[in-house]
Structure 1
Amino acid sequence: MKFKRILPILCVVLMLVCVFSTTAYAAPSGDVAGAIEGTWNDASDQIKTVVNKVVFPAIDLILAVFFFAKLAMAYFDYRKHGQFEWAAPAILFACLVFALTCPLYIWGILGM
């Protein structure tokens, strides 16, 4: 019974894999490394754009929310116990500064 339910799903997945898969050929000389390098050179600008405009801002937003939430929690703990705990907000602030300045130098380190 279970096999009869899984078989159509497996057939659809197999059909989709066959339809969307393509064969990649190297240049007529058989230079596979050159084909891969050419593809990387074409895609590296797109990768940099996506990372700079989507990934880094998402990380910055998450770190900023965590930083301000932790800062508020540390303040409420200060009001309750009379001692302000600096470690967690300081670490989150350092990570936020690192993430904000990361696009300026990360591509030089990676050689892109």
Structure 2
Amino acid sequence: MRYGGIGGAMTKPIKFQIEISFKDDKYKFEIAELQEENYMFPQFSRRPFMALDLSKNNEGVRKSNGQFRSRYRYADDLVVYFNFLNSKLKDYITNTNQTDDNW
């Protein structure tokens, strides 16, 4: 994920876990867990990653008007990434011309 920094943007690692469920010829693509690098690791924390909650009611991530705070202003890039990932999965699932059964 990109973060705003002096003179430009920096990238920091994130970890995510997705869940894909199938039912009645449909699938559900859901982000089960999202974590960002823990800036306090290792000096003040034992965990290298911490939960990332981008919900609208998280005051640490969003302002009172609902916009992301400056540190998280690139969080919308995650939406673009996961939508792209979902579309690629859909393309793979719906492709009927698959000839290679070896992953």
TM-score by length of 2: 0.29
Larger helix proportion of the pair: 1
- TM-score normalised by structure 1 residue count: 0.28
Where is the strand percentage greater, Structure 1 or Structure 2? 2
Q: Larger radius of gyration, structure 1 or 2? A: 1
